[in-house]
Chain A
């Protein structure tokens, strides 16, 4: 059976979640691999959430916010812009490929673009294969 990536998405309410809804009202089709969690601002996305998602079996994480300069809360997306690079370096130290985490700016009127982003991250993670974290931790227990 072909590997179907399971990707957790964190979408900000004002821009990207609305953009994703617009893809829906426009009936733009995209792969079903991203499961979205709504937050008010991408700045709510604590790196702990990303780590937790991998721990629970996610193969990839997509974080979407407003374009820089357009954040509904003025500067939230800049904080996200600072956090994600440091998080990706940390994940690389953990052996997790940086392509598994993607930060994208999607505005409320970019329904088509949201669909494209979902398609792209799904394919990128599919090429990387499943993330082994959850299964690794389960097999670890078997040695004792």
Chain B
């Protein structure tokens, strides 16, 4: 008798598809996955429908990997649906974990976003006032589209999340680790972050750390880098010291500073605030005027500190909103 195959779903909310590609990037391993699991829903790759999921019994799915943030009512609806039908719900990737890049939309209001997309836009007919509405009546009947929310949410703001796999996207090796762990029933305590280290990127980064004193901040392209030395010590804004490791230090190894996609260290409540604290502390000046000039070398503090984590931060979005 064939062993019951694992029933899994892989779904995307407000995301880019990169996390789905990361699963595919496990290469031959995906065939092993296909062998031990039935993928019941995977919009990027298979033809499952929402109605199929609605028809399932609660807990019929062993595992859902939910990537992407929650931006609209469809994302929320499917998140709740999959939560009900799944034994294990995993927030997969930065967007589901922290809000991700789409989370930066929280710096604008819904009204501002719609104005930019549908009104004040070179590709829109001047004078057009057409904006999406959640519902409309036509001859054929009522038509609905999802409601665009005022702000972006993390998956954990909407449903209870059992495990989180961080990263933008999670490293393929970590994807394997997680899938195998589920298959073998060898998962850690509920609520854990899996497929990542308990320390920060600096722990795995091969660059040499000598003395943290910065007199000027630089964009990566503004200086000729020392390939061996810590990027932060060269004045390049690296988020690695405040970011969980597990990604293989792909970015600093390629001469680019860590962007912070694996999220904060364990027990850190607000990754961006901690980054601001650390980086400003090492400014090598005691003169207020000079400090301001050095800070002028950081053109986008919000983008540096909260590139992936704005919805998950303490303040979550910009205030005021329209």
A and B: partners? yes
A29 adjacent to chain B (CB < 8 Å):
no
| The one of B149, B274, B280, B321 that contacts A85, using a Cβ cutoff of 8 Å | B280
Instruction: Output the least CB separation between B130 and chain A (Å).
Output: 22
- Contact A90 B305, CB 8 Å, known A48-B269, A140-B150: yes
B159 adjacent to chain A (CB < 8 Å):
no
| The one of A46, A55, A87, A132 that contacts B320, using a Cβ cutoff of 8 Å | A132
B residues contacting A by CB (< 8 A) are: 73, 76, 107, 149-151, 269-270, 272-274, 276-277, 279-281, 283, 285-286, 288, 291-292, 295, 298, 301-302, 305, 313-321
Instruction: Output the least CB separation between A126 and chain B (Å).
Output: 18
Query: What would be 11 A-B contacts, judged by CB atoms less than 8 Å apart?
Result: A47-B274, A47-B276, A50-B273, A55-B315, A68-B286, A78-B286, A82-B280, A90-B272, A133-B315, A137-B316, A144-B149
A86 adjacent to chain B (CB < 8 Å):
yes
Across the interface, name the chain A residue whose C-beta is closest to B303.
A93
A115 adjacent to chain B (CB < 8 Å):
no
Q: Which residues of chain A come closer than 8 Å to B295, judged between CB atoms?
A: 85-86, 89
Instruction: Output the least CB separation between B110 and chain A (Å).
Output: 9
Contact A87 B276 (CB under 8 A): yes
A79 adjacent to chain B (CB < 8 Å):
yes
In the bound complex, CA of A143 to CA of B72 (Å): 11
Across the interface, name the chain B residue whose C-beta is closest to A131.
B319
- Contact A86 B273, CB 8 Å, known A93-B318, A143-B150: no
Instruction: Output the least CB separation between A129 and chain B (Å).
Output: 11
Interface of A is mostly: helix
Contact A85 B288 (CB under 8 A): yes
A22 adjacent to chain B (CB < 8 Å):
no
Contact B301 A46 (CB under 8 A): no
Interface string of A85-123 (1 = CB under 8 A from B): 111011001111000000000000000000000000000
In the bound complex, CA of A78 to CA of B291 (Å): 10
A35 adjacent to chain B (CB < 8 Å):
no
| The one of B73, B281, B321 that contacts A83, using a Cβ cutoff of 8 Å | B281
